[in-house]
């Protein structure tokens, strides 16, 4: 039997919902409709809220509104923003704001849920910090073992084998086998180097983030047919290792996802410095995904890690995607002195 919610029931579900809900006009970000939980959360009356727009809640330094340049907003689009908001009493709260574009009174609007994640954040941050540090230390140790152990052994064997050649006369099939062994050894060394590199990008401490990012893009373009438009206008030599490693990992995961899932033909990557923030914008034109299918059958940890790493460096992350319309990952990270 179909269960249909009567019209007044939908109003009740919206108005009395314990989660702060809003309908937001797309171009202006104006609040068209909201509920009492939103009033309670932000300390404004409903009438006051209806005079405001979503950016009025943002911290002044987070004001930039997310306006996807390459993907036109349509019904079904899904946004998620991890950022900080301010209440009427000037309290800062950490939020995860999720929106889905829906048709409302003939217009496309953002149906938005505001999740206050402040209570979980401080304890979560401590756990994540400890976890991430442990993972990074372990990765570094494994990477070092492979690099200093296996790679050295293989490289030394390669040198001995090469030395052997002029002193012994090998002919025909034997020569072929000798060359094959040499080339396999070379491949083994390269593969082991790739593994160590993926585990821990050489020494993050010694390399600039610009260099690390360029390397990621080079590796990606060498192993993929996707056309890449990469622009980097960013020069911050003295970033903390924490920012470097986390931005690097976020970018690596975003690129891995594009390689694994997107089927994109075009990839745009912009790395810029805006005020005291670093902005990383990764846009693909691939198959995209929708939030509902993500929640029901996704066992991946990549996107969850993106959010965790963003929280770790006090950043803001926007994930923007729609089925068949591509995906955009935008990360803003406060830099030193912010
Ligand atoms: N750029 C993208 N294009 C299309 N789909 C994507 C993209 N990025 C993520 N997805 C979808 O979101 C899902 C979740 O991504 P996530 O990174 O969390 O997991 P995963 O990549 O499947 O596994 P893991 O990252 O743990 O190896 C993916 O399975 C895929 O369906
Ligand atoms: Mg992934």
Which one of 68, 252, 302, 310 would you pick to mutate in the ligand 1 pocket, going by the greatest count of ligand atoms within 8 A of its CB? 302
Does ligand 1 lie within 6 Å of residue 257's CB atom? yes
- Residue ending a domain, among 157, 183, 200, is 200
* Cα 302 to ligand 2 centroid, rounded to whole Å: 4
Q: Domain containing 43 — which CATH number?
A: 3.30.450.20
Does ligand 1 lie within 6 Å of residue 287's CB atom? yes
Question: Which ligand does the CA of 327 lie closest to?
Answer: 1
- Asked if the model's pLDDT at residue 266 lies above 90, the reply is yes
Domain co-membership, 186 together with 222 = no
Does ligand 1 lie within 6 Å of residue 263's CB atom? no
| Domains of the chain: total | 3
- Asked if the model's pLDDT at residue 74 lies above 70, the reply is no
Residues β-bridged to residue 327: 284, 321
**What does the pLDDT average to over 308-330?**
88
Domain co-membership, 217 together with 336 = yes
Domain co-membership, 183 together with 221 = no
- Residue ending a domain, among 200, 233, 265, is 200
- CA-wise closest residue to 192 among 158, 143, 248: 143
Domain co-membership, 301 together with 212 = yes
What ligand 1 atom has the least distance to the C-alpha of 301? 26
Closest residue by CA, ligand 1 atom 22:
300
Q: Which pLDDT band, with edges at 50, 70 and 90, does 61 fall under? A: low
Domain co-membership, 16 together with 93 = yes
1 in any annotated domain: no
Does ligand 1 lie within 6 Å of residue 110's CB atom? no
Domain co-membership, 184 together with 311 = no
Residue 76 CA to residue 70 CA, distance in Å, equals 16
Under a CB-based contact definition with an 8 Å cutoff, are residues 283 and 71 in contact?
A: yes
Does ligand 1 lie within 6 Å of residue 284's CB atom? yes
Residue identified by tokens 């830099």 is 335
Domain co-membership, 132 together with 150 = yes
* Cα 303 to ligand 2 centroid, rounded to whole Å: 6
Under a CB-based contact definition with an 8 Å cutoff, are residues 232 and 208 in contact?
A: no
Q: Domain containing 326 — which CATH number?
A: 3.30.565.10
Which one-letter DSSP state was computed for residue 106? T
Domain co-membership, 172 together with 57 = no
Residue 70 CA to residue 124 CA, distance in Å, equals 34
97-112 burial: b if 16+ Cβ within 10 Å, else e? bbbbbeeeeeeebbbb
- CA-wise closest residue to 54 among 74, 78, 17, 81: 81
Structural domain containing residue 171: 119-200
What is the structure's pLDDT at 68? 39
Q: Which two tokens stand for residue 275?
A: 């005020």
Domain co-membership, 146 together with 39 = no
Domain co-membership, 264 together with 320 = yes
Q: Would you say the pTM of this structure is higher than 0.85?
A: no
Under a CB-based contact definition with an 8 Å cutoff, are residues 33 and 23 in contact?
A: yes
2 in any annotated domain: no
Residues β-bridged to residue 85: 58, 93
What is the number of other CB atoms lying within 10 angstroms of the CB of residue 65? 12
11 in any annotated domain: yes
Under a CB-based contact definition with an 8 Å cutoff, are residues 251 and 218 in contact?
A: no
- Residue ending a domain, among 145, 168, 200, is 200
Lowest model confidence (mean pLDDT) among 201-205, 217-221, 244-248: 201-205
Question: Which ligand does the CA of 301 lie closest to?
Answer: 1
- Asked if the model's pLDDT at residue 174 lies above 90, the reply is no
Q: What is the pLDDT of residues 272-301, one digit of tens each?
A: 987 788 999 999 999 998 876 666 666 667
> To the nearest whole number, what is the mean pLDDT of the chain?
82
Domain co-membership, 246 together with 294 = yes
**How would you classify residue 275: left for phi > 0, otherwise alpha for psi between -120 and 50, otherwise beta?**
left
Which one of 257, 283, 288 would you pick to mutate in the ligand 1 pocket, going by the greatest count of ligand atoms within 8 A of its CB? 257
Domain co-membership, 222 together with 329 = yes
Which one-letter DSSP state was computed for residue 316? E
* Cα 56 to ligand 1 centroid, rounded to whole Å: 32
* Cα 319 to ligand 1 centroid, rounded to whole Å: 12
Determine the 3-state secondary structure of 95 from DSSP: strand
């Amino acid at each position: 039997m179909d269960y249909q919610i009567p019209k007044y029931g939908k109003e009740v579900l919206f108005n009395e919902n314990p989660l702060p809900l809003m309908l937001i006009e797309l171009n202006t970000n104006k609040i068209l409709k909201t509920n009492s939980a939103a009033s309670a959360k932000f300390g404004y009356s409903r009438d006051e809220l209806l005079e405001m727009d979503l950016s009025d809640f943002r911290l002044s330094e987070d004001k930039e509104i997310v306006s996807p340049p390459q993907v036109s907003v349509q019904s079904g689009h899904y946004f998620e923003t991890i950022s900080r908001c301010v209440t009427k009493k000037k309290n800062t709260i950490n939020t995860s704001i999720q929106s889905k574009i829906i048709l409302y009174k003939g217009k496309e609007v953002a149906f938005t849920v505001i999740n206050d994640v402040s209570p979980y954040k401080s304890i979560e941050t401590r756990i994540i910090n400890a976890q991430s540090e442990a993972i990074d230390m372990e990765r570094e140790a494994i990477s070092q073992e492979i690099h200093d152990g296996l790679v050295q052994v293989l490289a030394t064997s390669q040198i001995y084998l090469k030395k052997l050649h002029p002193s012994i006369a090998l002919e025909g099939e034997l020569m072929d086998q000798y060359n094959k062994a040499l080339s396999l050894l070379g491949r083994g060394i390269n593969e082991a180097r790739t593994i160590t590199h993926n585990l821990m990008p050489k020494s993050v401490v010694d390399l600039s983030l610009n260099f690390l990012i360029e390397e990621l893009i080079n590796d990606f373009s060498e192993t993929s047919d996707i056309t890449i438009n990469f622009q980097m206008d960013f020069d911050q030599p003295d970033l903390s290792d924490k920012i470097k490693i986390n931005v690097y990992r976020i970018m690596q995961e975003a690129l891995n996802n594009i390689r694994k899932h997107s089927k994109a033909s075009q990839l745009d990557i912009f790395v810029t410095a805006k005020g005291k923030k670093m902005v990383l914008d990764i846009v693909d034109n691939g198959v995209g995904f929708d939030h509902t299918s993500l929640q029901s059958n996704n066992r991946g940890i990549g996107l969850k890690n993106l959010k965790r790493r963003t929280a770790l460096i006090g950043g803001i992350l926007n994930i923007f995607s729609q089925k068949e319309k591509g995906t955009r990952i935008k990360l803003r990270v406060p830099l030193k002195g912010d």
